[in-house]
């Protein structure tokens, strides 16, 4: 398990973090949900392999702050499950990353992230 951050340090708009996916270092997005739970997704649009915040670094949400958005393609994703609700990849999901919270600290299980090709 790799430590990411203390739960109370996650910004309201989420944060990026680095993790290993096989031999490659990748980038994830960590979100703290209104109920206090956390969600993590690979920072990669399902339409084309570009980071969601490629054109606006660390800006993951739409103007209403209700959904994650791909700044390049205009796709919208639900924060709670990563489902694309609108845009060129509608119906697909962001890749979920395996995170857990223990004693107020968020960890990722890098051994369960799959391979780079599991977009």
- pLDDT digits (tens), the chain, 119 positions: 999 999 999 998 899 999 998 888 999 999 999 899 999 999 999 888 889 987 777 778 877 778 999 988 889 999 999 999 999 999 999 999 999 999 999 999 988 887 655 55
* 59/12 Cα distance (integer angstroms): 11
* 78/15 Cα distance (integer angstroms): 16
- For the whole model, what pTM was predicted? 0.89
- CATH code for 2-112? 2.102.10.10
Parse the chain into domains and list their residue ranges.
2-112
Q: Is 103 exposed, middle or buried (0-12, 13-18, 19+ CB in 10 A)?
A: exposed
Phi and psi (nearest 5°) for 112?
Answer: -110, 20
């Amino acid at each position: 398990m790799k430590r990411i951050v203390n739960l109370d340090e996650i910004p309201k708009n989420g944060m990026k973090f680095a993790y290993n996916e096989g031999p490659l270092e990748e980038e994830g997005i960590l979100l703290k949900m209104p109920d206090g739970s956390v969600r993590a997704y690979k920072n990669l649009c399902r339409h084309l392999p570009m980071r969601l915040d490629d054109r606006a670094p660390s800006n993951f949400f739409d103007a209403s702050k209700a959904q994650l958005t791909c700044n390049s393609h205009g796709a919208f994703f639900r924060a709670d499950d990563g489902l694309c609700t609108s845009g060129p990849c509608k119906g697909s999901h962001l890749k979920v990353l395996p995170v857990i919270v223990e004693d107020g600290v968020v960890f990722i299980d890098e051994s369960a992230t799959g391979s780079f090709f599991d977009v």
